[in-house]
Structure formats: C-alpha cells, structure tokens
Amino acid sequence: MATTRRQFIKQTGSLALGAAGLGALGARTVFGAADGATPGKPTLVVLYLRGGSDPLSALIPYGDRTYYNIRPTIAVPKPVGENPRAQVIALDDYFGFHPSMAGLARLFKKGLMAPIVNAGSTHPTRSHFDAQDFMERAAPGVKSVTEGWLNRYLYMTKTGGDSDLRAVSFQPVLPRSLRGQYPALAVPEADAQSAAAAFAGLYGCDDAKATAKAQASGGSDKSADADETGRAGGRERIIDAGAQGIARLGRLNEVLKSDNYKPSAKYPDTVLGGQFRDIAKLIKARAGLEVAAIDYNGWDHHAMQGASYGVFNNMMGNVSRTIEAFVEDLGPVIDRTVVLTMSEFGRTARENGNSGSDHGHGGYMLAVGGPVNGGKFYGKWTGLSSRSLYEGRDLPVHTDFRDVFAEILAGLYGFQADDHQFFPEYDAKEKALGLIKT
C-alpha cells in the first residue's frame, strides 16, 4: 500500500519521538559505549561518486558486440591479447571490470564484493542537483523532504547512550545524506582543530563558564527570554552547535591520538585514501562509529573520459586501491563493515561526439564487506539494444536504490524501513536482492 505524505510525516514523527523519549530515560542498551568495551554495531561507509559515474566503464558487458559498436573510442578492449592492463578484467564470459578495478576484482573473487547493475533512481531527472538530492534523501521527486537518509536513520534510532562519534564524515562540510537533525560530525582539517579548544569557554563547554553563564542570565527562564525577544533562541542554537562541535572533536582526537597507530595496509596517497585510513582507525578503535559518508567529486565525464587509460581510469583506480587497502587494514573487522558506492545516475550508453558520455538514467552500485554476499552480479541486465534502453539512450533502472538502502539497513541493523515509513511514498523490497548475508 502506498503511503501518503501525510501518513509519512505522522508515523515517522511519532516513532522518532518515541525513540528519543526512550533514549532520554536510558532505557535502551547502549551500543558502542564510549569505553569501547562492547563491539558495537556494524559500520556502514557510504561513498558518493558525484557527477554521474559511467556504469558501462565500470561493469563492462564485453560479451556484447553492441558495447563496442556504440562506444567506438571509449570501450575497453576485450580480455585477449598482450597487455592485460589495458583490457577488461573478465569475471564471466559476458561481464568484466574496468582494468583499474584489479583490487575490487580480487575482493569479488574472495566473495567480499558485489556489483549491482542497472541500479538507481526511477525518477526521470537528468539534473545532477535533483538526482543527488533525491538519492541522498532517499525521496525521489519529494522535495519537501530535506533531511539525508542516513541522518533520518540515525535520528529514528538514536538513544541516550549514542557515541559522540556515531556518525562522522572526514570532510569539512557534511554530505547531504548526513545532513539533518541528528548531530553528525564533519571533521575539519587538522590544522583548524586547535581553534576549537580556545572557544570552549565561549560556547559553554567549560563548567566554570557554564555556571557563570547561568548566573549572568540571572536564573531567568531561557525559553521565556526567547519568546520575548524572538532571537535568544537563535543565540542558543549557535552556542549548541559550537558545543557539539567541540565535544565531538575532543572525543575524536582522544580516540585518534591515543597510541602510535599504524594502519595495517598501504593506502593510496590521495584524499580518498586518507579518508578511508581515518575511518578504519576509528572503526578499529571501537569508538561507536556506525555511519561514515564521503563525497568523491568529478565523475561528470562529458568529454575525453578515456577507455583503459585516462580520467575514468585514474579515478576508479583510486577507488579500487583505496577500498582494497581498507579491507586489508580492517582485517577481521571487515565482517562488521560494509562499503556502499553510488552515483546520482548513469550515463548515455552511446558515447557522445566528444569521446565522453552524457547524463543518463540507470547506474550502478558496488557493495563491499564481510556481510555482503559477494562474488556475483546483482540486478537485472537487459542488454544494450535501443529497445531495451531507457528512452532509447540510457541504461534502464531495474533495481530501485531504495531497495538496496532498505536491505542494508535491515541486514546490518535490523532496521525495517517500511515498518518506520522510512521512504516517503514508497514501500521498499527489503529482500529483493539477497545482497546481505542473513
């Protein structure tokens, strides 16, 4: 049964209230407690490939002659001949990976990695901005939902015992999937963090100062002040945001600087490599990290995207090497960790006049981790003939991204999206794929 928007707001609303109420009473088990003694919940790492990453360059149907016909300059050669580095990495007699994905192919063969073909949003938009918003808020076409899907999940399941580091993004501004009411931490670059300590007193993080503040306000009721002036509430919000930042950063630094830590794998010397290295460190420290999200920009390859070499190759190589190092670094902890990649849409099946591809429709997702039923392709593949393409030009969407989100939330956290009316106007198929081990 379809859910109306009104029902959606009502039901999620009352649930969130309930969860928050329970948390305040301390009635729930504390996961990922600050002392790090309990193993805590699994960790989900979401990697967003911004710009519309090309599915046919990543998951290549090399067994289909049409692929070579419609992509005369950007198709990757078949896996035959002298130079394996320049060829498709065959995974069966039809599909293979881009040659830059050697690391991911190894994980695939170990059963730790699964690609999903023809996945994405059923909304027809080919606008980056709308498509990203719709996916990151898991609400295609519903612009009144402005909170990220990860933030909604965190908020609906929050407890009084939540770790300060339950949701972290190692970049200066939160990805949209993490924006919302739940206080997720966007980690500032290291050199800026020292400023936080200097402002503890000003933002009420220092007991003596907090007392002084209470005295200064003459013991009057804060909310009454807010009503009277119409803006003291604004001041409180500024102070709260500052205080949250200081507390969470303090905890993060405590965790990250507590020992002579060395990662157990060599990451690429890239921004992305550094972000995954920090996430691994936080996971291994058992600091209660449940959700991490990262943006990787620059996948809008309208021109000169390259075949075996070039810009797609460089970026995908970075992803593949980073994720392989991350898996190695985590060791046995990978059994409690999932990395999920996504992009707002795919690209035109046919290459354009500039050895690139334009905004398309169906895309792809990659899932990596111990809980993933890896080693096989997921999703429905319907070929490349014009008749089977969306509007005669793009890959179709056969797997709604919300089904993948639902399956992961259910598989990792036992969170049944539909019980909570998680997706507005949509009932997810939580077990559509069987992607997560049960």
Binding to another protein (CB under 8 A) within 333-372 occurs at: 350, 352-353, 358
Q: Are residues 427 and 408 in contact, defined by beta-carbon separation less than 8 angstroms?
A: no
Whether 169 and 178 have beta carbons less than 8 Å apart is answered as yes
DSSP code, position 347: B
Candidates 244, 318, 373, 388; binder of another protein (CB under 8 A) is: 244
Sequence-separated contacts (24+) of 21-29 with Cβ below 8 Å: 22/159, 22/160, 23/158, 23/159, 23/160, 23/161, 23/162, 24/160, 25/160, 26/160, 26/161, 28/159, 28/160, 28/161, 29/159, 29/161
Counting Cα atoms < 13 Å in the Cβ hemisphere of 326 gives 35
- Rounded to the nearest whole angstrom, what is the least distance from the CB of residue 413 to another protein in the complex? 18
Does residue 193 interact with another protein by CB under 8 A? yes
The least distance separating another protein from the CB of residue 264, rounded to whole angstroms, comes to: 28
Q: How near is the Cβ of 114 to another protein at its closest, in Å?
A: 30
Q: How far is the CB of 358 from another protein (least distance, A)?
A: 6
Closest CA to 75 of 361, 296, 312: 312
* Contact present, 356 and 74 (Cβ < 8 Å): yes
Residue count of the chain: 438
User: What distance in Å separates the CA atoms of residue 419 and residue 409, rounded to the nearest whole number?
Assistant: 12
Which x/- pattern, by CB under 8 A, does the window 143-182 give for another protein? xxxxx---xx--x----------------xxx-----xx-
Considering only 23, 201, 250, 274, the residue that binds another protein (CB under 8 A) is 201
Structure tokens at 222: 């804060």
The residue from 84, 233, 331, 383 that contacts another protein (CB under 8 A) is: 233
Q: Does the footprint of another protein cover residue 21 (CB under 8 A)?
A: no
Q: Is there binding between residue 424 and another protein (CB under 8 A)?
A: yes
Closer of 8 and 97 to another protein (Cβ): 8
Question: Using CB under 8 A, which residues numbered 246 to 305 contact another protein?
Answer: 246, 248-249
The residues in 365-404 that bind another protein, with binding defined as CB under 8 A, are 385-387, 392-393
Select from 38, 73, 127, 314 the one that contacts another protein (CB under 8 A). 127
Q: How far is the CB of 139 from another protein (least distance, A)?
A: 8
Site for another protein in 66-125 (CB under 8 A): 66, 69, 124
User: Which residue, among 113, 102, 103, has the nearest Cα to 376 in the 3D structure?
Assistant: 113
State the nearest-atom distance from the C-beta of 164 to another protein, in Å.
11
User: Which position among 24, 27, 195, 271 is part of the footprint of another protein (CB under 8 A)?
Assistant: 195
Residue whose CB is less far from another protein, 92 or 189:
189
Rounded Cα gap, residues 386 and 404, in angstroms: 27
- Give the DSSP letter string of 312-334: HHHHHHHHHHHHHHHHHHHGGGG
